[in-house]
Structure 1
Amino acid sequence: MKQILVLGGTNFFGKKAVQLLLDQGYEVTVATRGNNPVPFEGQVQHIVLDASDAAHAGWQAVQAQQWDAVFDNICYNAEDARIRIEKFGQQLKHYYFTSSLATYEGNKDGYVEADFDPLTYEIDPNKTVDYGEGKRQAEQVLFTQAPFQVTAFRFPIVLDNDDYTKRLHTYVEKALKHETIQFNNPDARINFVKGSSAANAIVWAIENEQTGSFNISSQDAISRQTFIDWLEEMTGQAIEVDYTDESITGSPFNTRHHWYLKSDKIAKAGFELDDLASWLKPLMKDLADEMRAQ
C-alpha cells in the first residue's frame, strides 16, 4: 500500500484528491499549518507543518517517514521548491505539484506544454514575483535541481460548487441581480477545469507514475460571449454586457486575449477530458438555484 503525503489537502480540489486517494486504499498523511480542522477524521494522519519555513519543527516528522509519493498543493515559488528539495532529497521517489496556466506568457490561441520550458527558463532575481512568475520559478528549480521525479499540473481556473474564491458565483450573482457584466473582448476564448476533474487527474497521474508537465483543462474553450449566452440560459435572465476597452475590475474571467489551455498531451496519455458544456452549464444552474433559495 502506497504512503502518500499531501501538503495542503484540506480545501477545494486538494481535499477532493485526498478523498479519492483514500477511496483507492492509499495511506494518506496530510500536512497543514494547523489553523483549520482537518477533514477525514480517523482516516488520515496529520502533521502540523509550515512548509514555507525550512526551520519548522514539522519537517522532522515528515523526514522521519518514507513516502512513495508527495502531492504538494502549496508550492508557490523558488524558495518553496528549494525547501522541498532539501527536505525530501534522495529518499523521495516522486513529487507531484500544482502549477498553473499562469506560467504561460504572451497572447496565443491556446497554450501547449512546450510554450513554457522550465529546463531552459532563466530566473531573473530582479523580476517581480507575482503568482505566475512564482510558479515558473518553482518549476525551474524542481525540474532542474530535484533528485526525485517531478510532475507539474498546469491548471486553468478551477471551478466547482465549493470554490472558496467564488469567481463563477460572482457572475451568477450579477445575472440574478440584473447587474452589468464587463469584458474587454467578446471573442477571447477561455477554458476551465472542474474541481472533481482536477482531483481525478492528480490521482490518475500518481497511479500511473506520470512525469513532466501536464496541462489539465476542459477539452474545449469558449468565447466570453458564449459564456454569457450560457449564463443567460442557465439563470433565465437577460444579461447586459459592457464590452469595453477600459480597464476592468470585478470581472475575474476577463482578459483582453485568449487565455486557455490545450490539454491534448494528457488526453493522449489516457486521461479523459471533460467538455465544458457537460458540467459548466449545470454548475451555473446549481449556483443560481442555491442563491435563489437563500
Structure 2
Amino acid sequence: MVKVLILGGTQFFGKKLVQRLIDQQAEVTIVTRGIKPDPFGDMVKRICVDRTDAAALAEAVGGSSFDVIYDNICFSPKEAREAVHLFSGRTSKYIVTSSMSVYPFGEEPLTEQVFDPYTCELPEPDTFSSLSYADGKRLVEAVFMQEAPFPVAAVRFPIVLGPDDYTRRLHFHIEHVQKEIAIGMPAPAARLSFIHSNEAAEFLDWLGKSELTGPINACSQGKVGLNQIMSLIERNVGKRAKIVEEASEQHQSPFGVPASWYMDTSKAESAGFAFKHIDGWLPELIDLLAKTKQ
C-alpha cells in the first residue's frame, strides 16, 4: 500500500486529490490545523498541527516515512527549509504546489526555463517575512531544488477554477454582471492560462506516480482572453458587463492582470500527461455558476 502525506488536503483541489488517492487504496495522512472539516471520516489519518510550527510538526509526524509527500501550503522559504530538514531520508518524492506567479507578465508562452530555481539566489533568513506571494513561491522552489536530498517536483499552477473555488474568483465576475456593477480590469484583451480543480487534482495524482521532477507547468490547453470570459458570462447572464480600467479594491477583478500571462506545458505533455482544452470546460463552468446564482 502506497503511503502518502498531504499538507493541506481539506480545501478545493486538495480534497479532490485526497479522494482520488483513497479510491486507489492509498494510505493517506492529512496535515491540517483541524479548523476546516473534511468528508473523509476514517478513510484517512489526520495530523492536527500548524505546519508553520516546525517543532510541533516534527513531533506530530514522528518517525513516519512516506512514498510521496504533497505540500499544498508551503508559502515561504523558511517553511520549505524546515520541510527539507524534517523529511530528509523519509520520502521517495516531494511534490510542492507552486504558482504561475513565479513568472513575469508578457505576450510569449512561459516555459519552465523562464524562472530557474536551481540558480536563484537565496537571501538571508531574516528577510523571509517581508516577501510577496510571488517571491515566496520563487524561493520555496529555490530551497527545495537546491537543498533537498530527495526528488522534488514544483507544480506551477495558474489560477485554478471550479464550482467549489472558495476564493470565488469566477463567481465574482458573474455576480458583478448579474448586479450590473462595474468591474475594474486594466487589460481586457490579456490572455491567461487556467486549470479546472478536477484536472489539478488529476495532474498531482499522475505526477506522484511519474519520474518527472523539477519545475513543471500545469494548465489546460489553450489560453483565453479576459474579454472572451466576459462575453461568455454576458451570454449566460443576459446582461452586458461594465468594464472599467480601474475600480475600488472590492470591485477590481481578481483576473485583473496588466498583460497576458500563459504557460507552455510541453514538459508535462512530453512525459505523458494530456491536458484538457480550456474550451471543453470553461463555458460549462460559467453556465453552471450563472444558473446557480440566479
Please classify the TM superposition score into its range, dividing by the shorter chain length.
Answer: over 0.9
Q: Which runs of 5+ in 2 are unaligned?
A: none
Q: Distance in 2 between matches of 1:63 and 1:104?
A: 37
- Greater CA drift, 109-118 or 179-188: 179-188
Indicate whether 1:24 and 2:24 are aligned: yes
Indicate whether 1:175 and 2:174 are aligned: no
1:235 is aligned to 237
1:105 is aligned to 104
Residues 215-235 of structure 1: per-residue CA shift (max 9 Å, x gap)? 111111112221221111232
Residues 184-239 of structure 1: per-residue CA shift (max 9 Å, x gap)? 12321112110000000000001223211111111111122212211112323222
- Secondary structure (helix, strand or coil) at the match of 1:68 reads strand
- Greater CA drift, 191-200 or 176-185: 176-185
Residues 11-52 of structure 1: per-residue CA shift (max 9 Å, x gap)? 000010010111112110111112232330010011112211
Residues 54-103 of structure 1: per-residue CA shift (max 9 Å, x gap)? 111x4224132121110011111110011101111122221011000011
2:95 is aligned to 96
Structure 1 residues 37, 106: closer, same or farther in 2, change over 3 A? closer
Q: Distance in 2 between matches of 1:264 and 1:248?
A: 39
Q: How does 1:97-246 map to 2 (within 5 A)?
A: 97-125=96-124, 128-242=130-244, 244=245, 246=246
Residues 91-119 of structure 1: per-residue CA shift (max 9 Å, x gap)? 22210110000111253422111111000
1:50 is aligned to 50
- Secondary structure (helix, strand or coil) at the match of 1:134 reads helix
Q: CA deviation at 1:268?
A: 1.9
User: How many residue pairs align between the two structures?
Assistant: 289
2:74 is aligned to 75
Indicate whether 1:38 and 2:60 are aligned: no
Contact 1:63/1:87 (CA < 8 Å) preserved in 2?
no
- Secondary structure (helix, strand or coil) at the match of 2:116 reads coil
Question: Identical aligned pairs, as a percentage?
Answer: 38
Residues 246-271 of structure 1: per-residue CA shift (max 9 Å, x gap)? 57632110111111222122122111
1:6 is aligned to 6
Letter in structure 1 aligned against 2:39: P
Q: Distance in 2 between matches of 1:78 and 1:265?
A: 25
Q: Distance in 1 between matches of 2:106 and 2:193?
A: 15
Residues 154-195 of structure 1: per-residue CA shift (max 9 Å, x gap)? 000011001000010000001111222332123211121100
- Secondary structure (helix, strand or coil) at the match of 1:4 reads strand
Letter in structure 2 aligned against 1:33: R
Q: Distance in 2 between matches of 1:4 and 1:190?
A: 32
Q: Distance in 2 between matches of 1:256 and 1:248?
A: 16
- Secondary structure (helix, strand or coil) at the match of 1:252 reads coil
Contact 2:180/2:241 (CA < 8 Å) preserved in 1?
yes
In the superposition, the TM-score normalised over structure 2's length comes to 0.93
1:275 is aligned to 277
